[in-house]
Amino acid sequence: MLIPDSLLVPDHVITRLMMSDLENRPGQHWLLDGFPRTLGQAEALDKICEVDLVISLNISFETLKDHLSRHWIHPPSGRVYNLDFNPPHVHGIDHVIGEPSVQQKDDKPEAVAARLRQYKDVAKPVIELHKSRGVFHQYSSGTETNRIWPYVYALFSNKTTPIQSKDAYRPCPVEEPGRCGRPFN
């Protein structure tokens, strides 16, 4: 009962889950979000592949804390609300069936702040490992992620076949940042 109790999944469990899936995908490109988070996870990943790109979006502690502490949930359905980005029609009420929504104890500002501090301590060795290998790229995004997307897209395009669709964006050369973000013709 880890998830209902708002506990972190133990490192060995998440590592085993990820490794069993990734080992069944040899020769494929992977995009992993939030893994590896610990040095143990990074070392396990090293045994099955060579990580060639790590992107970190550097968002301020206060921005993350504010965003994460505005989560509310309707427990019976699992519907998640964010008071800024997906608010219920009436605060504290699930707008689908009218039952109360709640803020879980681990989404309260103090708990979020503690979780973020713990993450920073645990992630530091993983970040240092990827920096030492020259694969770590960090961007400060603030609230305007659309400004960094062209740079992230360019990094991905250098590693994989570029996305070719009417909605794809041009890679942004560092020397021409003002020419970024326009759709391909």
Query: How many percent of the chain have pLDDT more than 90?
Result: 39
Render pLDDT for 4-50 as a digit per residue (tens, 0 to 9).
Answer: 555 567 889 999 999 988 888 877 778 888 899 999 999 999 998 88
DSSP 147-176: HHHHHHHHHHHHHSPPP-STT-B----TT-
d(CA 161, CA 22): 20
Above 90 in pLDDT, residue 141?
A: no
pLDDT at 93 over 90: yes
- Closest by CA position to 167, among listed 146, 149, 182: 182
Q: Which CATH class is domain 11-16+32-158?
A: alpha beta
